[in-house]
Structure 1
Amino acid sequence: MTDHFLSPALYVLMIVLVMKVMDGLPQRTFSLRRPPKVAIGLWLLVAIPSLLQFAFPGIYDNLHRDSDLIIDHGQWWRVYTSFMVQDGGVGGTAFNLFVLALIGFAAERVWGTRMLLAFVPALMLVFSVDTFLVHGPPGGGNSGLTFRLATSIAGLALLIRPGGRHYLLAAAIVVDGAVLLLLGDGHGEPMITGIVAGLIAALVQRRWPLVWQPVAADPAARGIAPEPKEAPEPESDLEGH
């Protein structure tokens, strides 16, 4: 990773592009009586230990990613707990929690509650395999998960709303991620792989719609044009007038 001065601008650009993608997708609506449960639960799961670590540093020490401890000492749980603590100080923590709140809410609107509940653990399982095999720098943070979740929306759009606009936006996200990688910022990788993950998840959702309940099938979802009503047939003139 790097603290290149262009990186924050490229992160924001990715978020803007994802929001543009969402404009063309059906979205589930939420309210105080019907909140986005998965997004709230995920945010609390990250926010509570991330904030408590400043008062109790032992939380970070026991949960952060450390390849030596994972590979050589069998502390495998660190692979799945490192997203719950932060290594970017107060500023990095505030940014990560804000973006997670934004993207978590957006993702649940387009993926749906049931699909998102399965999709988040799947992302963590699939993209953590290399941590068991390759020694890397220690650290923590939820940005990788959040960025993949964000750009998965673009992958979803490529399947359910194919068209020039979404192709262009997805390509722009890939370029954004590639520029980050060229700058030495590893956050570009989850931006790109998130699109692929979203496309695969969308294929799964399409294959088993009754199980995963795609938002596009929800009549109450915003952004779905109502089916045209058939015009009533003219009444027959029984009297011949």
Structure 2
Amino acid sequence: MSCLGAIVFNLTTAALMVLMFKSGMLLIGDGDVRERPVPYAALALAAVAVGAVVLQLSWSGAMDTLDGDPHEPGWWRVVTSVFMQNGGVFGTVWNIATLAVIAALAQWFWGGPLMLALFAGGILLPQRIDALFGESAPSTDPRNFAGSSGATYFLAATLAAGLVLSSTDPKARLMAVGVPVAGLTMWLAQENGHGLVACYGFVLGAVVLPLARRSPRALLPTLAARSERS
């Protein structure tokens, strides 16, 4: 990839995250985030990511043992590779910061258990879905053997799906629909795996939200709050 191509790749990847972040902010509603409950599950994910970086810095064999290299044995790699980082200082800071912010937004909307389940989906599902369509090249996974960005973009896209199904504002819904459209465009034009996993996350979020709403138990925090007030 040329220098210009790398710049465009990074800019479009960042722009997609900004689009999903704005969708998440609209989804959880107005108000000071400091007034919201402490997102302990999101903090736990961020702490694991930080701990993994500390492990990399203190153990030279961490990446070889825990990354997602398909040519190496180890059933654990599909999970541990998410918390390894190989994007340098800037990439590591970006990955952990976006993970913490998106996980917090997702917890405030989905609740802790569903947020963690959707994040796990972002770890486990993309490669399985790729295999169904005959995609086996590692390039379909934005992690490139390591990194949390793929699972984070997957989780962020579930917020865009939530906004489409929850908002009555046409502009907000149009912006949220732009997430899978932009993601698919990025994949087709750049083979940018972040865009592809965003499409997967959007679809899963669109499937899970109606099921959570119909559940006899109030799985979503917003539904639980309404039940308490009624």
Q: Which residue of 2 aligns with 1:6?
A: 8
C-alpha contact 2:157 2:201 (8 A) present in aligned 1: yes
- Given candidates 165, 168, 174, the residue that maps to 2:174 is 168
Taking only aligned residues, the RMSD between alpha carbons, in angstroms, comes to 3.2
User: Taking structure 2 as the reference length, what is the TM-score of the superposition?
Assistant: 0.80
What percent of counterpart residues are identical? 27
Tell me which of the two structures has the higher relative contact order, counting C-alpha pairs closer than 8 angstroms and 6 or more residues apart: 1
Q: Distance in 2 between matches of 1:91 and 1:131?
A: 28
Looking at structure 2, the residues matched to 14 and 47 of structure 1 have their Cα atoms a distance apart, in angstroms, of 24
CA distance in 1, matches of 2:36, 2:222: 22
- Give the helix-richer structure, 1 or 2: 2
1:46-57 equivalence runs, <5 A: 46-57=49-60
Separation (CA, whole Å) in 2 of partners of 1:209 and 1:92: 42
Partner of 1:106: 105
1:120-178, CA deviations, whole angstroms, 9 ceiling, x for partnerless residues? 22332323436889463662000000001111101112222355224311332223223
Residue 119 to residue 187, structure 1, CA distance change in 2 (3 Å) = closer
- Counting only pairs closer than 5 Å after superposition, residues 67-78 of structure 1 correspond to structure 2 as 67-69=70-72, 73=73, 75-78=74-77
TM-score (norm 1): 0.77
Sort the Cα spacing of 1:161 and 1:180 in 2 relative to 1 into closer, same or farther, 3 A: same
C-alpha distance in 2, partners of 1:33/1:183? 38
Alignment match, 2:62: 59
Distance 1:194 1:26, change over 3 A: same
> Which of 214, 217, 229 is the matching residue for 2:223?
217
Aligned partner of 1:38 among 41, 44, 56 = 41
Pairing 1:96–2:102 present: no
Gaps of 5+ in 1: 221-225, 228-241
Classify the secondary structure of the residue corresponding to 2:225. Answer: coil
Q: Structure 2: which 5+ runs fail to align?
A: none
Measured after TM superposition, the shift of residue 23 of structure 1 is 4.3
Q: How does 1:139-178 map to 2 (within 5 A)?
A: 139-161=145-167, 164-178=170-184
